[in-house]
Amino acid sequence: MNLIEVMTGSVVFAASAGSSLQLWALAAAAAVAEQRQQEQMEQAEVVLLRAETSLRGLAPSAGDCTAAAAQLLQTLAAQPLAPGLVRQLEVSASGDGVVLRLVVDGEAEPRQRLYAPAVLGLCATVQGGGGGNP
């Protein structure tokens, strides 16, 4: 075997080893990114569970559901938030509930929940429709 064959073989070996290492590095980086994304999704679920737990611990208000919705809004705004999550709070379209949206970095759709004070037992609901016979 002459020197040219040895040099050519070592160059091919070095190139294939370098390419293989790059592929392994890309695969490892993708796995780490996926793991981080999964952890952020789990943190979003923990925030949603913590929010519901704290809302269920609120004392019922004597007012209507709109006043109780304001109480929900304040309670949810005071909840701690994990890094990588963005919280968006808004009053529901009917005005008697609160929509909590959690945006996770890298996810197209936010996680969201509608919290209604009547469902949580925080306000008095109107019984019956009032249009029926006694």
Nearest in space to 68 (alpha carbons), one of 106, 124, 26, 17: 124
In a domain, 12, yes or no: no
The strand ranges marked E within 30-84 are none
Return the bridge partners of 112, or none: 101
In a domain, 62, yes or no: yes
Average pLDDT over the chain, rounded to an integer: 84
pLDDT tens, position by position, 6-62: 888 888 888 888 888 888 988 888 899 889 888 888 888 998 999 988 888 888 877
When pLDDT is averaged across residues 102-115 and rounded to a whole number, the result is 87
Distance CA 49, CA 30 (A): 29
Domain span at residue 55 reads 39-115
Q: Which two tokens stand for residue 37?
A: 């994304």
When pLDDT is averaged across residues 51-74 and rounded to a whole number, the result is 84
Q: Which residue has the tokens 């609901």?
A: 125
pTM for the model: 0.68
In a domain, 94, yes or no: yes
In a domain, 11, yes or no: no
In a domain, 128, yes or no: no
Domain count, the chain: 1
In a domain, 121, yes or no: no
